[in-house]
Amino acid sequence: MKSHVESDRPKEECGLVGISTAGNDAARLAFFGLYALQHRGQEAAGISVSDGRAVRTHKGQGLVGQVFEASTLDPLVGRMAIGHTRYSTTGASNERNVQPFVVETIHGPLGLAHNGNVVNADRFRTELLERGAGLQSSSDTEVLALMLAGMEGDTWDERLAKVMPRWQGAYCLTIIAGTKVIAARDPWGFRPLSLGRLPRGGHVVASETGALQTLGCLDIREVNPGEIVVLQGDLVRSRQAVPPATEMARCTFEQIYFSRPDAVWDDLSVHEARQNLGEELARERPAEADVVIPVPDSSVPAAIGFANVSGIPYNEGFVKNRYIGRTFIEPTDELRRQGVALKFNTLAANIAGRRVVMVDDSIVRGTTSGQLVRLVREAGATEVHVRITCPPITNPCFFGVDMGTYDELIAHHLGIPEISDHIGADSLGFLSVPAMMKALGRDSGYCNACFTGEYPVPVQLSMATEKRRFDGALG
């Protein structure tokens, strides 16, 4: 059973890394790359490494530092590696769904890791089962691996270029096969993926630029939507496998919440984008107050921006325990009932006797926000005005973010005044879609379906939005 803190946040899907290097330490580089991507998923982690002949894999449930230690990394010797840290969307959180997936093919072993959600994977899964394929997991990633394994072509990147047009939705891939590491990104550009050069030879792809910087990479650039990149030691080549979509569909929540603040994506600094969101929020939804406090961590730049524009002093109001919710030890029932008190303590000296603006990145189910407001009031605040750096989330995501179902989204059922009453705020303000895009300096090119219901790729609204929709076929 997850606490209210964990169940009331959008869940990041996955983090990817792929490495081709001149030495035999690719697995250790992948480990440190995954460590920098830990925030993108805390349920499981895995690394596959190749010496050009065999692919060895170690993976398991838990944090990167729990799954890997020196004794598990030492046998993973090779110049090529792919790694994955996971939060599950399609496919429940269990051992059989941990990535990378490795399959034996007529062309040799193939390892694949995936970030995203392919919305037509259920049809391909049925086709594979009808052909007698023995699926071992309930993840759409295995479906992609088996489809790629069955394609015709002289090289893996040629096979990948042939199968990519069949996939609809969000996917960033890292693939290990033979003497190459291959990366690819869907033509809509839903998820981030970047490429960098290692200073001592070789190249790296990763979900965020911060991971590349951790490894000392130079010449960092974004992998283009629809592009395939092939890494082979010091050599790198690319091909535009699928034309980029007419309208890009980058996930706005990468800028709002998911990505680390040191990331650069779509030529935007995530920290700067979040500060801009706060500035637009102050202009569009002002409040009369004495102090602005963020809900750490993603809302810190936004609260700074809000304070800069409003003239209301910024200060810290919460101390966050970053380890709660990332442990396998369940709290007692009494502690669980305390909800956010497990994860946040208030700094009463900065709050007592003051009118407070509490800046947060989103409200999903409404459980956490209400408890945070209560904590601020108990710390002595005379008023609590909640400001949110995105519009109300009224629709589920089908492209790799676990937002929840229609029934679970509070803004799908209640208007803003009712949500304000529900969480116990004196006032509540959300950023509008136009103001949000103004903060990003963009008129288009982002997927805002969770706010608008306008999906960039056709989806079956009757399709189960739960991540366990494939599990029934496996018992």
299 occurs within a structural domain: yes
Domain boundary among 248, 273, 299: 248
Which residues lie across from 423 on neighbouring strands? none
pLDDT at 323 over 90: no
Residue 29, phi then psi, degrees to nearest 5: -65, -40
Q: Which domain CATH number covers 182?
A: 3.60.20.10
pLDDT tens, 34-51? 999 999 988 899 999 999
Weakest-pLDDT range from 205-209, 296-300, 424-428? 296-300
With b for 16 or more beta-carbon neighbours within 10 A and e for fewer, the 249-284 pattern comes to bbbbbbbbbbbbbebbbbebbbbbbbbbbbbbbbeb
Q: What is the predicted pLDDT for the residue at 12?
A: 57
| Percent of the chain predicted with pLDDT > 90 | 75
- Which pLDDT value is given to residue 140? 82
Tell me the CATH number at 441.
3.40.50.2020
**Tally of CA atoms within 13 A in the half-sphere of 46 that contains its CB:** 26
pLDDT given at position 1: 36
Q: Are residues 243 and 306 in the same domain?
A: no
What pLDDT does 134 receive?
67
pLDDT digits (tens, 9 = 90+) for 368-380: 899 999 999 999 9
In a domain, 391, yes or no: yes
Residues in CB range of 462: below 8 A, 6 or more apart:
none
In the structure, what pLDDT confidence band is assigned to residue 247 with cuts at 50, 70 and 90? Answer: very high
Distance separating alpha carbons of residues 118 and 369, to the nearest angstrom: 31
Q: Is the pLDDT of residue 204 over 70?
A: yes
Q: Is residue 467 part of a domain?
A: no
Q: Are residues 166 and 283 in the same domain?
A: no
Catalytically active residues are 14
Q: What three-state secondary structure class fits 80?
A: strand
Residue 475 lies in a domain: no
Cα separation, 340 vs 475, whole angstroms? 35
Question: Which pLDDT does position 89 carry in this prediction?
Answer: 47
Which among 198, 213, 248 is the end of a domain? 248
Model pLDDT for residues 151-187, shown as the tens digit of each residue? 999 999 999 999 999 999 999 999 999 899 999 999 9
Q: For 418-453, what is each residue's pLDDT tens digit?
A: 999 999 999 999 999 999 999 999 999 999 999 999
Q: Are residues 88 and 62 in the same domain?
A: yes
- Please give the pLDDT value at position 380: 98
Please indicate, yes or no, if residue 474 is contained in any of the structural domains. no
Same domain, 434 and 326: yes
* d(C-alpha 293, C-alpha 303), whole Å: 6
Of 440, 117, 448, the residue nearest 250 (C-alpha): 448
Per-residue model confidence (pLDDT) at position 301: 98
Q: Are residues 393 and 357 in the same domain?
A: yes
At what angle are helices 416-423 and 367-378 packed, to 10 degrees?
50
pLDDT band at 9; cut points 50, 70, 90: low
- 183 and 331: one domain? no
User: Based on the domain organization, do 300 and 241 belong to the same domain?
Assistant: no
Residues 204, 347 within the same domain:
no
Tell how far CA 27 is from the center of its chain: 22
In a domain, 259, yes or no: no
Same domain, 304 and 344: yes
Lowest-pLDDT choice from 123-132, 189-198, 272-281: 123-132
Query: How sure is the predictor about 467, in pLDDT bands with cuts at 50, 70 and 90?
Result: very low
Structural domains in the chain (count): 2
Tell me, what's the pLDDT at 110? Answer: 95
Mean pLDDT of the residues in the chain: 90
Residue 101's nearest CA partner among 193, 177, 163 is 177
pLDDT at 456 (0 to 100) = 95
pLDDT confidence of residue 468: 45
The reported pLDDT for the residue numbered 241 is 97
Give the per-residue pLDDT at 374: 95
For residues 268 and 228, state if they share a domain.
Answer: no
Alpha carbon distances (Å) from 51 to 24, 149, 198? 8, 20, 19
Same domain, residue pair 293 and 206:
no
The verdict on residue 101 lying in a domain is: yes
Domain-located, residue 34: yes
Token digits of residue 341 = 């008190």
Residue 90 in this model has a pLDDT that exceeds 60: no
In this prediction, residue 465 has a pLDDT band, given cuts at 50, 70 and 90, of very low
* Beta carbons of 257 and 10 less than 8 angstroms apart: yes
**What is the model's pTM?**
0.91
Type of residue found at 80:
M
In which domain, by residue range, is 361 found? Answer: 264-452
| Rounded distance between C-alpha atoms, residue 344 and residue 371, angstroms | 10
Q: Do 309 and 355 share a domain, yes or no? A: yes
Q: What average pLDDT does this structure show over 367-396? A: 96
